[in-house]
Amino acid sequence: MKSLEPRVRFADYKKDAHHWITLATGDYYPDILVDACLLYAPVLQMFGQLVRTSESSERLFMQISEVRESWMRVQLARVFKRYVSPSTPVEMLRRKNQAAQICISYRDKFRPIHEVQEAFSSRPIPDEPLCALLWEYKDRGKKGYDLTERFFELFRSRFPDYPIIGPERAGRDTLLGTIFEEYPNPGRPVDFVIFDKNKVNVLAIGLARYDSDRGGAQEDDRTGGYRDCAKEILSYATLHGLPTKVIFLNDGPGLLLGSMWNDYARLEDEGNGRIMVITLRMVSERITETWLLEEN
């Protein structure tokens, strides 16, 4: 197979890696407390009301699951996790249609309601530390949305004639089954798709992630998942004689932790030039028209 390896590799940037990552802005503590308490005081008040009117922790959870407004229901589930069931994932608690089954499966781990009532009544309303914890969830995912949006802006400014599609901020991922006919894994979600000028050939498939921090098993999960995704896409492209390549847009200080940078460098090298790992600051230097158009 002809090598399409870029002249400068992701590994080559490691010597001054901290210059190539983008740091997202954040909120200072305790500056956030005024806004956090204003936002979450109604949540804590409603949780307290439900605690007082529930004869058991299971009943408390069922009452939370019956709250119609989705934002409030999710926040109540997060408070429930803190007070009643720290071992139960919030993603599971927020599944309204599975509330009864969750109670059956996890009620043995629920804290008794009288202990919940006692603990809750011992805290002020608003409870500043708890409001601060809930505040951490408020912008979860926003850094990733910002990263994708800025990439779209950068790419379009450099390559205005090459169409790029995908959710620029929040929204459903693009499924490869809608891009390629008879794709073996039609439900494979991706963050962006780059076409040639005539929108006939797919030049690149991309995934974008912002890592605030990352370590241990999470590193293996992320790069392992990327490796499987790239292998799947490139195998399909090779089988059908397509020029498609894979771009992994990753950014954030998590890249500097553990073995993450080396893991991504190896992933790129394994692609024989058909995989490119970049941060936002590398876009203008590494993604070129020549690389996009090179034949496999």
The predicted-structure confidence for 46-63, as pLDDT tens digits, reads as follows 999 999 999 999 999 999
Query: Cβ(281)–Cβ(21) under 8 Å?
Result: yes
What local confidence, expressed as pLDDT, does residue 13 receive?
A: 96
Percent of the chain with pLDDT over 90: 67
Average pLDDT of the residues of the chain:
89
Higher pLDDT, 41 or 210: 41
What's the CATH number for 10-24+141-293?
A: 3.40.580
pLDDT (0 to 100) of residue 141? 64
pLDDT in the model for residue 109: 86
- Determine if the pTM surpasses 0.85: no
Out of 17-26, 105-114, 213-222, 285-294, give the one with best mean pLDDT.
285-294
Query: In the predicted model, is pLDDT for residue 5 greater than 60?
Result: no
Q: Is the pLDDT of residue 39 over 90?
A: yes
For the chain, the domains span 10-24+141-293, 33-138
The rounded distance, in Å, linking the Cα atoms of 148 and 168 is: 6
pLDDT exceeds cutoff 90 at 26: no
Mean pLDDT of 220-235: 88
Predicted confidence (pLDDT) at residue 218 exceeds the cutoff of 60: no
**pLDDT tens digits for range 131-178:** 999 998 887 667 778 889 999 999 999 999 999 999 987 778 899 999
